Structure 1
């Protein structure tokens, strides 16, 4: 498949599986401690970019309820329509995250949970580089990525009516991409899922150096 074919498979998959993947009233689940930690790190109000925002639950909803300004981006029309309804104070864009053009130093945090791994691998290092520029000095990136390298698809994902596609490097490669982008990794932890799992990173753009 070409990169565009892969993007279309992910978009079609989430259009078909949106409600199957997460209901309107889903709780924060495994995201809860990550979001609580993020809220503690943010100024109030903060500007937060949620890449792969899905239906807006739980990330955008949690942050918006805490008084932050949230911009969500997702490749699925259905997900974005739901996010606009479920998080009416947020701003939501239907776009390919790897092709975004956003102002430099415009966000206090970027959240990208279980989304980078749905993007063509060749585009991921460049996106991480751009995320670093979108962060303000001292800003945070919270992301989940692969633990081991793998690319593949699954028919009838989650028992639903559509296929899904993934592509990710291993954790050491992501660490090197974050470092190359000028982001300081402060936490790296394994997040189990089924017989495998993912890697969660907290990474920070260095704070501005005070001058006399």
Structure 2
């Protein structure tokens, strides 16, 4: 297999505009519900980090309206769209697993449909870093795959090759607890994606 992160970056660069349009009509109720959850639990003006922000869709826009948002993504082309659409936020091209933030400097971290694109061998290390970035009592809201699925590449996702991987739900929960999180909610949400039911594990956790 090619480098998974090169596959992800190249895929989102090629499909940036298509993906931005697709996201506006896909899993919209689910995305809105978890974005509103974040808005409800943190104070206005809080510092929020969005990992895998893409082109700055509805989640980014809602968070940036009330908070100091920093979006992180591998795709330069997606970030170009995000900067144009939401200039009030800060946008950083980086690998989320290599991104650095000061300890206890962030009020909330969100990762919607993005950690699935990180090799699962790096999930535990990322969770530890997120716990370090968050202030005591900070929030982590994210979606994950539901299956024990080693890395694989899909050739026809929005017209590009795309990499994904995941742990079983119980493993993801265990890794989060080992990183120091207290899980507030863990729920599988299944929604239609282009005619197919696709489940995601949603976890709401605190440091």
Give the Cα–Cα distance (whole angstroms) in 2 for the partners of residues 25 and 12 of structure 1: 18
The alignment covers a number of residue pairs equal to 200
The root-mean-square deviation of aligned C-alpha atoms, in Å, is: 1.7
Give the Cα–Cα distance (whole angstroms) in 2 for the partners of residues 128 and 157 of structure 1: 27
> Does structure 2 retain, via aligned residues, the 8 Å contact 1:50–1:59?
no
- Report the equivalent of 2:19: 21
Out of 161, 179, 182, the position equivalent to 1:163 is 161
- What residue ranges of structure 2 are gaps of 5+ in the alignment? none
Give the Cα–Cα distance (whole angstroms) in 1 for the partners of residues 146 and 156 of structure 2: 23
1:102 and 1:87, CA in 2 relative to 1: closer, same or farther beyond 3 A?
Answer: same
TM-score normalised to the size of structure 1?
0.90
SS in 2 for 1:97: coil
Give the Cα–Cα distance (whole angstroms) in 1 for the partners of residues 130 and 59 of structure 2: 18
Task: Select the structure that is richer in strand.
Answer: 2
**What whole-Å deviation, never above 9, does each CA across 1:187-210 have from its counterpart, x for those lacking one?**
0111114344110000001xxxxx
Alignment of 1:1-212 (within 5 A): 1=1, 5-23=3-21, 26=24, 29=28, 30-65=30-65, 67-150=66-149, 151-158=151-158, 160=159, 162-193=160-191, 194-205=196-207
Give the Cα–Cα distance (whole angstroms) in 1 for the partners of residues 144 and 95 of structure 2: 18
Give the Cα–Cα distance (whole angstroms) in 2 for the partners of residues 87 and 26 of structure 1: 15
**What whole-Å deviation, never above 9, does each CA across 1:105-132 have from its counterpart, x for those lacking one?**
1111000111111011111110010000
**What whole-Å deviation, never above 9, does each CA across 1:120-170 have from its counterpart, x for those lacking one?**
111111001000011111110000011111131111213x2x111101111
> Does structure 2 retain, via aligned residues, the 8 Å contact 1:24–1:86?
no
**What whole-Å deviation, never above 9, does each CA across 1:55-93 have from its counterpart, x for those lacking one?**
11122211112x200000000011111111111000000
In the TM superposition, residue 24 of structure 1 has moved relative to its aligned partner by: 9.7
SS in 2 for 1:98: coil
SS in 1 for 2:13: helix
In the TM superposition, residue 36 of structure 1 has moved relative to its aligned partner by: 1.1
SS in 1 for 2:16: helix
Give the Cα–Cα distance (whole angstroms) in 1 for the partners of residues 163 and 22 of structure 2: 24
- What residue ranges of structure 1 are gaps of 5+ in the alignment? 206-212
Give the Cα–Cα distance (whole angstroms) in 1 for the partners of residues 6 and 81 of structure 2: 19
